[in-house]
Structure 1
Amino acid sequence: MRATPESEAERPATERQALGAAERRKWSSLVRQDLQNTVIDALGDPSLYGVVVVGAPGVGKAIFARSVEARLTPKTHVLHLHGSTDVSTPFGALAHLVARLPVDAADSPGAIIHGISHLISSDAAGREVLLVLSELPALDSMSTALLVHLLISGTAKVLVTVRQATDMPEDLIRLLKDGLLDEVELQVFSRAEVAKLLSGVLGKRVTATAASALHASSGGNPLVLQAIVTEQLRSGNLHLAGQVWAMKGEIHLSSAEVLTDLVRSRLARETPAVQEALELLALIRTAPLAVLLDVLEPEVVAEMEWSGYLRVEPSGARRVALRDEYMGEVIRGWMDLPRRNELRRLAAGVIGSITRDLDAEALLGFASSTLNVRETLEPGVALAAATAANRQFDPWFALECARQIGREDKEWVAAAQQRCVSHVILAEHEAAVAALKDVTPEQLRRLPAYDYADYVQELCSALLWVPGGHLQIPGLIAEAREDLSRRSQETGADAAEIERASGMLRLASFELHVHQGEYAEVAEALEQEYRDGIDLQQRLSCGSLLIMAWAVLGREMEAIELARELRHKIQRAKARPRLHNWLSEGLFAALLCSGQWEELARMLTATLDQQPKNIHYLGGAAELALGVSYTYAGRASVAIDTLLGAQAQLEIRRNYYGPALAYSALAFAYAQAGDVKESRTFLELAEKGQGETAWFPAWMAEFCVKMARRWLKDPGAKQSLIESANRDLAKGRITTASISLFGATVHGTEEELLLLEQVSSRRQGKMAAVNRMVAEGTRKKDPKTLLLAASVAQELKLDAVESRCAVLALDIAREAGDSASARLAQQRLDRLVGTVPVLPLTPHTFGPELTERERQVAKMASQGLSNKEVANQLQVSVRTVEGHLYQIFTKMGISSRSELEGTAQS
C-alpha cells in the first residue's frame, strides 16, 4: 500500500512551527552572510537591474531569498511574481494587479503595462521596489515584457532564484549576458557552515563529528538539516555533553516524523510513475542504468534525473542510486511488507542483474532488499554482504547479514571474523573476542592453514584491547605454530600456504610488540619483511607497523616518507592491509613528534570535512588527535575547544585512545592557558581514566600529565619526566626520550642538557634540531645558537617553544653584555607575549636601565619624531636630545633609530 502525503493542516502544530518560514529564515540568516551582502550590494548598484541566484534543488534558494527580503523589507516594497506551466494567459504572473486596473485601462497591452507600473509605484509609496521570481516554471510573454519594462524604466529591481540561468525567459538571459543582471551561485551547506549554523541555533559549539554526521545525512540541504536536527533533539540523540553538543549514536531517519513529512510533501508533487520509481530505487538502493531503463520507462528516469533525485556514476556500469540517502531511508521506513514484496516482484529484472554483478554497492542493495522483505540470504552472499558492510563502516547491517549464517555452514568461521570486525568498529572489544571464541576447535581444524592463521591473527588483534588480553597472545601464537608444524608434516601439505600462514603468525607477534612499545625488538624484522616479503598483504601490514616503530625510534622523517610510499602502493594495488590502522597511527606519531603539527591538523581537518562513512565511529579519535596537535603547538584556546568535543564523544563511545588522553591533553592545555583550577580538575580525571590502549597513546597521555604538572610548577614533575626519558632510552625509544628531556630541562643541569643534546642528535627533523640547539646553546651560554633554535621553532609555528628559546637567549645575552642578541631576543619575546598566555620560562635578568628622560626620548624617536620635534615637546635643546640618543644607543647596543621600534623600554 502506498502511503499518501498528509496535508499541511494535518501536520502537528509543533512540527509546523519547527519548519515554519520564520524559523527557516533564522537558520539561513546565521550563515551565508557574505553571499547575502553580495546580493544586497548588487541590488543597490544603479548599473544593475537585479540578481539571479542559481543552484541545484535543495541548496536553500527560497530560504536564502527570503532572508535577503527580510533584510530589505523596511525600506523596500517586495512583490512576488507567480509563474505557471500555462503560459497562454497574458499577464498571468500579475493577474492580481490586472484585476485592480480600471476597465478602460485594460484595453491594450501598453495600457496594462503602464497601469500596472503606476499601481506598483503607488503601492511602494516612495520605497524601492523588488520583484521576486522563485523557481518559475514559465512566464507568459506579456508578463516578461512588463518585467523588462519595470527594470529598464528603473521602477524596480529583480531577484530571481532558478536552478540554472538557461531556465529563465530569453529576455532575462539576454540581460544576464549583457552584464545587467548579476549572477550568484548557491551551494549546499559545507560542513563548516553546518557547524557554524548549529552553534548559532543551539547556543553552544557542536562537535566536528556531529557536524560531519549531520552534514552527510542532510546532504547540506538547509530544510532537511533542520528536520533532522529537530528529530535528533527530540529523540535525545543530539544532546548537550558538558559544554558541547554531541551525538550519542548513529542518525536513523526512518522514524523522523518531521523529515517524513518533508519527503511526503515532495513526492506528492510528482506523478504516480515517479513516486513508484522512487520507492523501487529506495528498496533496491542501486542498479546499473541500462537495467533500470529496462524496468522503468525512460521518460520516468529522465524526469527523476532532471528533478535532482538521482545520482548516476559517470562511467563503468553507470550505476544509479538516490542522490539523497535520507530519502531512501525515509521511504523504506514507511513501506509495509506487502508493498515491499510488490516492488520486489516489479524489480525482479533488476535484482537478477544484481546477482550477476555483485560489486559492493550492488551486493549491499541486494542484501538489503532481500532482508527488507524478510527473505533469507544464501550463506555465501550473506558473508560477502557482511564483509562489504564492514568495509563501508556499517557494522549494524554487517551483523544483520552475519546472522543469516548458521553454525553448521562452512562460512561460520569467516562470519565470526566479520562479527568481530563489526564489534571492533562499535568499540565493543569484549564482544569482538567473544565472537571469535564462538568457534569450535573442530571448525578450526577443518580450516586451510592460511585461513586458520588468519583467524588466530584476528583473535590476537582483538585481545590487545581487552584487560589482560595481551597476556594470552604468546600462548595462542605458540599453539598455532605447533599446529602449522604438524600440518607441514602431513602428506600433500602445501609448503607455500604453510609459509604464508607462518607469516600471518609473525604479523600477530609483531603487532603485539608494537602495541606494547617494544619497537626496537621488531623494527629490523619488520623492515626485512616489508622490503623482501613475497605476500603483498603481509608486506603492507609490516610496513604499516614499521611506520610507528620508526616514528618512536628517532627515525621520524623516514617514517613519514614510508607512510607516503605505503599509501601510494596501497592505492596502486587497490589493496587494504590487515593492519592498515597502524599506518595512520604511525604517521600521526611521526608528524606530531617532528613538530609538523600544521600538516597533521590539515590532514585531520580534511578527514572530518570529507564525511567518511566511519565518521561516527572514528570522529572522536580524529578530534582528539587534532586537539592533541593544537596542545603540542601551544595553541591552548583552540586545543581546549577541540578537546572538549573529543572528550564528550569518547565518554559516549570509547575507542583505542579512550578518554584518558583527552583528559590529559585538556589538563596540559588548561595549564598552558593559565587556568589552574580546570587543569587540576582534568588531572584528577586523567588519573582515573586509564584503560587498555597501545603504548604510544598511553605515553602521550602520561607526557601531557607530566607537562601539565611541570607548567603548574608541581614538585617532582621534572624528575618524573627524566625517569620516563631514561626508561625510553633503555628501550631505544629515542624520539620520546628526547621530548621528555626537552620538557624536563626548562631549568636543566649541565648533565641533563648534555644528555638532551646527545639524544636529540640521534633523531631526525627540525624539532630534533630545536631540541639539540636549545641544549647546546643553554649549556655553552651561546645566545646565537638559541636564536637560531627560535627561528626554526618559528618556522614550525611552535610559539611556546620559540618563547622558551627567546627567553634563554635574552638572559644569556644580557649576562654576556651582547646587546645585539639581547635586542633580537627581546623583539621575539615582545611579539610572542600576545600569543602565549603563560610563558614556559620568564626572563630573570634585566637589561641596561634607561633613565626616565632617556625612556621618553627613546619612545618619541621610535615613533618617528625628528630630533627637533622631540626637543620641542620636551622643551630642551636639539643638542641635548642628540646626547640622550647617544647614551641610549650605547646602552642598548644599537646604531639607528629604526632599531628602537619594538624594544621593551621604548
Structure 2
Amino acid sequence: MGETTQQAGTVQLHEDALEAAARHVRADRDVLLLGDVGSGRTTLLATLAERLRGTGTAVVSLAAHHGARDLPLAAFSTHPTLRPRSGARWGLAEATTALAEAVGSGQAAVLVDDVHLLDGASAAVVAAVARRHASRVAVVLTAPCGTDVDAAAPDLVRDAVVVRVGPLGVSATSALLAERLGGQVEGHLASVVAGRSGGNPRVAVALVRAAVDAGVVARVSGRWAQTGALDMVRADAVALGLLADLSETSRRGLEVLAWFGLVDLATARRLVGADTLAALDAAGRVAVHEGGREPTVTVSPPALGQVLRLRLSPRAHADLRALADGTLGTGVLPPPALALPAGVDVTGEDATSWPAPQQVAILTESVRTQASQRYRAWLDKRDLATALSLLRLRLLDNFTSIDVDEILQGTVPSPTDDPDDLGSYVLLRGQWAAATGGTLRDGMTHDPGPTGRLVLPELEDRVLDALERLYALEPSTVGVADLEGAHVPAPLRDFVLVLQVQAAVETGAPDRALELLDGWGGSRRQHAIGHQLDALRGDALLLAGQVDDAIDWWRERLSAAYDDLSMLGVRLAARGLATGLFVQGDHEGARRTLSVVLQMGRCGPVQSPYDERILALAATLRARRGETDLAAALLDELRATPRPYLPALDFALPWATAEVAYFRSGGAEPPDGEPLWAAGEEQLAVGRLASAALCWSFAPLELTPDRLARLEELCARTRLTIVRPLVHLHRTISQGTSTEVLAAVAMMRVPGPLVHVALDVARRRAVEEGRGELTEEQVRAVAGSAVAESLGRPQARSAPLTGREAEIAALAREGLSNRQIASRLYLSVRTVESHLYRAMQKLGVSDRALLGELDGAVVATG
C-alpha cells in the first residue's frame, strides 16, 4: 500500500496508519493515534470515521479544545446531538445515557480528537460506556507526541494500541503540494520541502505558501518549481503551529538552540537546561543524534529553526551572544550568520536507524553551522584552509548562501599553507570555472585573489591538456592514457587516481579498478576524493558481480558518512546502496535509501553528474510504484541536470526514459528499446565499453542475430559479470524455446521492459511449439509470482491497439507478409512479429488468416 491515495478529490495521507487503526477497531481494540502537531491526526480521524460508517459501524465523534479542560462535560455540551436539551437536567448520568444511546446495540466506535485536552467528566463518561460494552465498542483517541496522555485520561489510554502518524515522504509531499497549489510539483521542490518540513504536512504547506508569496516558488513549464533561494523565506505560520502547545521556557530554549545551530548534547544542556531539553525532545522539537564522536542536538524540523532565526531582533541576537559568553565563555561557538540549506530525508532500515526528522535536522544544521562558523573564520583570516572548507560546502554540498567569487577573490596565500590544501583549492577553482562556462585550465592556472599566487608550481601543460580533455563534454578516456609517465604534482595525484579508476571502470575492467583502489593510501585532507573513490569501489564490485559485497561496502560507508555528518559522503554512499539494492531486486529498500539524497537537494555544481543516477533510479522506482507524475517530473530534472563533465557509466538517461515510459503505460504498450541501443552505439564509438554494454543489455528489444553477436562480442571484451544474466536473457529471446526464455526471465526476479519483451516471445514460441497459450500459473511455476502477474497486462482484450499495432495488423489483413511489412515500415522482421502477435491477442484471433474476416474499423481501433 502506498503512502497516498486519491479520495474524492482530496489527498489522503498516512494510508498505512489509517489501515492499522481500522484493523484494530475491527478487532475490538482501542487505538491511540500519536503524531506531531500538524501531522494530520484530525483529518485521519475523520477519514477513519467515514470508513467505519461504510462498514455499518456506529460512530460517535467527540472533540476536546484548548481552555475547555476545566469545564465538566465540555465535549458533550458542544456536541450537535449529545448536548443537553434546553431546560433538561444535565450531569454524568444523563451524558452517559446519551452516549450509550448513540452507540446503539451493534458494533460502534467512539472517536476522541485531542484526548489530552478532554475534561475529566467527559473522559469518565466515555470510559464508562466503553467498559460496559467492551465487546462491541472501541475507542479511538488522538494526541500530539510528547503529551502526557496517561495523566490526562488514564482510563481511556490504558489498554489502547498505539499507532504512530509518521512523517511524509517525497511522494506524499508531492501529492499534498500538488493539491494545495492546484498543479503538479517539480520533484526537487517536493523533496526539499519534505526534508525541511520534517515530513509535517502543515509545515510543508506553510513553507511553500510563504515561498510562493516571496516569489521563490513559481510555475515553470507547467509545474511548480523552486525559482529562488528558500533559505531566507520567513514562514511564520510554521512557528505558530509548532510552538502553540509549548511553555514559554521551551520556546525560549528553542530560540537559543536555533541561534546556535548544531551543538553537542552537553552544551545544549548547559544552554537550556536538562529538563527543558528533555521536554523539547519528547515534543519532537529537537533532534538528537547519538552517533559520531559525541551526541549532537538541533531544532526539528529545519524549517522551524529557520523561522526562529529569521525573526530574531538585533536585541535578541545581542542577548543570545551574552548568554553564550556567560555560559560557555567569550568567543565560544559563534552564532550562525547564514541560512538553512536544502533538507535531508529519511532513509530506510537498510541505511540507518535514525528516525526521519532527526536525519533531516542533524545533517542540515551540520552544514549550516559549519558554513556559519567557517565564514566567520575566513573573514578573520582569509587564509587557504578556511577558504577551502567554505568552497567544499558550496561546490560539493551545495550550500548556496556561500559566494564563491567572494572567497576566490579574497583569499591570500600563507607560508603555512598545506600543499594538499593548495591542490584541492586549485582543483575546485578549476572545476568551478568549468561548471560556469569557463575552462578547467583557466581556473587552475589563474588566481583572481589579491596576490595571484595561489597556483600549483610545476603544473605541466601535458597534465593540463589531459585534464581538459577529460573535462570536455566529449565522451573520451584518452586523457587518462596521456597522463601515464607525466609529472603530476603530488596534491593532484589522488584526483588523477579517481580518473584512472573511472577509466578502468569504463573500459569494462572492474578488477583493474579494484587493484588501483587497493593501492591507494588515502589522504587525511582529501575527504571529497575519498568519497568518490569509495563510490567507485562499490561500482567496481557491482560490475564484477559481487553484489552482496558491494551492498555491504556501501552500508559501511553510509554509516561512516552519517557519523562524520558528511553530506557528500551520504549522497554517494546512499546512491551506491540504492543501486545495489535495485540490482538485488529489493526495490522498496532502494526507494527508501534514495529518499535520503533526494531530500538533501542536489549535489554541488562541480559534482552534478552524480545526481544523474540518483534521479534515474528515483524516477524508475516511482514509475514502478504507479507514481507516474512524480516519475515524469524526476525524469525531466534528470534531462536538465548540468554536465560539467561526463559521468562514469553514462547510461542513466536512456535507461530511465525507457523504464518510465513503459511503466507509465501500465505495461500495456510495447517498450521502445531503440533509443537505448542507439545510446550504446554512441558510447561504443568512443571506447566507453561499460556504458555501451549496460545500454545494450538493458535495451528491451528482440535482437537480430547481428545485434546479438555484437552484444556478446562486447561482453567478451569486458569483465562485466553483472550483465551476464541480461545477455543470457537476450540470447534465449533470440534463440531459445519458450521454456528456456521463461527460465531466463526467472533470473530477473522482477518485471520490467525487457521481461515484457521476453514474455511476448515466450507466448509466441509456446504457440509455435504447439503448447498453446501460456497461463499465469505456468509462468509463475517457472519465473515467480511478480513476473506471472505481469503476464496478462499486455494482452488484455480491453486494451486498444497501439498505433503501430493497428498499422501492422491492417497491412497483415491486406495479405502482406511479415517481411514485406518490415520493408515497408523500415522495421526488423522480429519487431513486426512482436507487434502483430500482440495485436492478434487483443483482437482475439489466433491465426493471421482470420484478420481478413474482421471489419477494417475493428482492426484500426482494436
The TM-score bracket by the shorter chain reads 0.5 to 0.7
- State the partner residue of 1:330: 307
Residue 149 to residue 419, structure 1, CA distance change in 2 (3 Å): farther
Q: Could you tell me how far 1:586 is from its partner in structure 2?
A: 11
- State the partner residue of 2:260: 284
Q: 2:40 aligns with which of 53, 60, 64?
A: 60
One-letter code aligned to 1:80: A
Q: Could you tell me how far 1:324 is from its partner in structure 2?
A: 1.7
What secondary structure does 2:437 align onto?
helix
- State the partner residue of 2:3: none
What secondary structure does 1:481 align onto?
coil
The yes-or-no answer on 1:220 pairing with 2:196 is no
CA distance in 2, matches of 1:674, 1:305: 43
The yes-or-no answer on 1:625 pairing with 2:616 is yes
Residue 241 to residue 787, structure 1, CA distance change in 2 (3 Å): farther
Residue 429 to residue 70, structure 1, CA distance change in 2 (3 Å): same
- State the partner residue of 2:141: 160
Residue 213 to residue 445, structure 1, CA distance change in 2 (3 Å): closer
Q: 1:386 aligns with which of 390, 404, 419?
A: 390
- Residue-by-residue CA offset, 1:287-309 (whole Å, 9 max, x unaligned): 23333443445554444444432
Q: How does 1:471-870 map to 2 (within 5 A)?
A: 481=487, 500-501=490-491, 503-504=493-494, 506-507=496-497, 510=500, 513=503, 519=507, 526-535=513-522, 556-557=544-545, 565=553, 568=556, 596=583, 598=585, 603=590, 606-608=593-595, 611=598, 613-615=600-602, 621-622=612-613, 624-626=615-617, 642-648=631-637, 650-651=639-640, 668=658, 707-708=674-675, 727=685, 731=687, 733=689, 736=692, 740=696, 746=702, 748-749=704-705, 756-760=711-715, 764-765=720-721, 767-769=723-725, 771=727, 775=731, 783-784=736-737, 787-796=739-748, 797=750, 800-802=753-755, 804=757, 819=770, 832=791, 834-835=793-794, 841=831, 843=833
Q: Could you tell me how far 1:219 is from its partner in structure 2?
A: 0.8
- State the partner residue of 1:714: none
CA distance in 1, matches of 2:221, 2:261: 39
The answer to whether the 8 A contact 1:640-1:669 is kept is no
CA distance in 1, matches of 2:460, 2:322: 41
The yes-or-no answer on 1:365 pairing with 2:346 is no
The answer to whether the 8 A contact 1:637-1:673 is kept is yes
The answer to whether the 8 A contact 1:382-1:402 is kept is no
- Residue-by-residue CA offset, 1:401-434 (whole Å, 9 max, x unaligned): 9739834343699589569759969994436846
CA distance in 2, matches of 1:673, 1:51: 38
CA distance in 1, matches of 2:672, 2:302: 44
One-letter code aligned to 1:326: A
CA distance in 2, matches of 1:224, 1:242: 26
Residue 295 to residue 524, structure 1, CA distance change in 2 (3 Å): closer
Q: Could you tell me how far 1:332 is from its partner in structure 2?
A: 1.6
- State the partner residue of 1:395: 399
Larger mean CA deviation between 57-66 and 348-357 belongs to: 348-357
What secondary structure does 1:220 align onto?
coil
Residue 299 to residue 138, structure 1, CA distance change in 2 (3 Å): farther
Q: How does 1:13-412 map to 2 (within 5 A)?
A: 30-33=12-15, 35-36=17-18, 39=21, 51-68=31-48, 78-82=61-65, 112-117=91-96, 130=110, 132-136=112-116, 139-140=119-120, 142-152=121-131, 159-163=140-144, 167-168=148-149, 172-174=153-155, 176-178=157-159, 181=160, 183-201=162-180, 205-235=184-214, 237-242=216-221, 245-248=224-227, 251-252=230-231, 254-256=232-234, 259-264=235-240, 266-267=242-243, 270=246, 272-314=248-290, 317-348=294-325, 349-350=327-328, 354=332, 365=369, 368=372, 379=383, 382-383=386-387, 385-386=389-390, 389-390=393-394, 393-399=397-403, 403=407, 406-410=410-414
CA distance in 2, matches of 1:237, 1:654: 24
Residue 265 to residue 372, structure 1, CA distance change in 2 (3 Å): farther
The answer to whether the 8 A contact 2:473-2:646 is kept is no
What secondary structure does 1:395 align onto?
coil
- State the partner residue of 2:354: none
One-letter code aligned to 1:481: H
Q: Could you tell me how far 1:787 is from its partner in structure 2?
A: 3.6
What secondary structure does 2:116 align onto?
coil
What secondary structure does 1:439 align onto?
coil
The answer to whether the 8 A contact 1:239-1:247 is kept is yes
Q: Could you tell me how far 1:321 is from its partner in structure 2?
A: 1.4
What secondary structure does 2:112 align onto?
strand
The answer to whether the 8 A contact 2:422-2:456 is kept is no
- Residue-by-residue CA offset, 1:646-683 (whole Å, 9 max, x unaligned): 2146437567579x9887568756986999xxx9xxxx
CA distance in 2, matches of 1:192, 1:603: 15
One-letter code aligned to 2:63: H
Q: Could you tell me how far 1:313 is from its partner in structure 2?
A: 3.3
Q: Which structure's CA Rg is the greater one?
A: 1
The answer to whether the 8 A contact 2:732-2:740 is kept is no
Q: Could you tell me how far 1:218 is from its partner in structure 2?
A: 0.8
CA distance in 2, matches of 1:317, 1:146: 49
CA distance in 1, matches of 2:162, 2:661: 50
- Residue-by-residue CA offset, 1:746-774 (whole Å, 9 max, x unaligned): 4635x665555555556554743553575
Q: 1:430 aligns with which of 429, 437, 445?
A: 437
One-letter code aligned to 1:345: A
- State the partner residue of 1:439: 447
The answer to whether the 8 A contact 1:239-1:248 is kept is yes
TM-score, normalising length: structure 2: 0.64
CA distance in 2, matches of 1:644, 1:630: 13
Residue 152 to residue 803, structure 1, CA distance change in 2 (3 Å): closer
TM-score, normalising length: structure 1: 0.62
CA distance in 2, matches of 1:759, 1:270: 65
Residue 437 to residue 345, structure 1, CA distance change in 2 (3 Å): farther
CA distance in 2, matches of 1:70, 1:120: 19
Residue 27 to residue 337, structure 1, CA distance change in 2 (3 Å): farther
One-letter code aligned to 2:793: G
**Count of residue correspondences:** 737
Larger helix fraction of residues: 1
> What is the percent sequence identity of the aligned residues?
14
CA distance in 2, matches of 1:744, 1:275: 58
CA distance in 2, matches of 1:198, 1:799: 30
CA distance in 2, matches of 1:55, 1:542: 41
Q: Could you tell me how far 1:190 is from its partner in structure 2?
A: 3.1
CA distance in 2, matches of 1:825, 1:95: 60
Which segments of 5 or more consecutive residues in structure 2 lack a partner in the other structure? 1-6, 337-361, 780-786, 796-801, 806-829, 838-844, 847-862
- Residue-by-residue CA offset, 1:41-79 (whole Å, 9 max, x unaligned): 76688x56x643223444333443455567789986644
CA distance in 1, matches of 2:515, 2:720: 21
The answer to whether the 8 A contact 2:256-2:320 is kept is yes
Q: Could you tell me how far 1:557 is from its partner in structure 2?
A: 1.9
Q: Aligned Cα RMSD in Å?
A: 6.4
Q: Could you tell me how far 1:791 is from its partner in structure 2?
A: 1.8
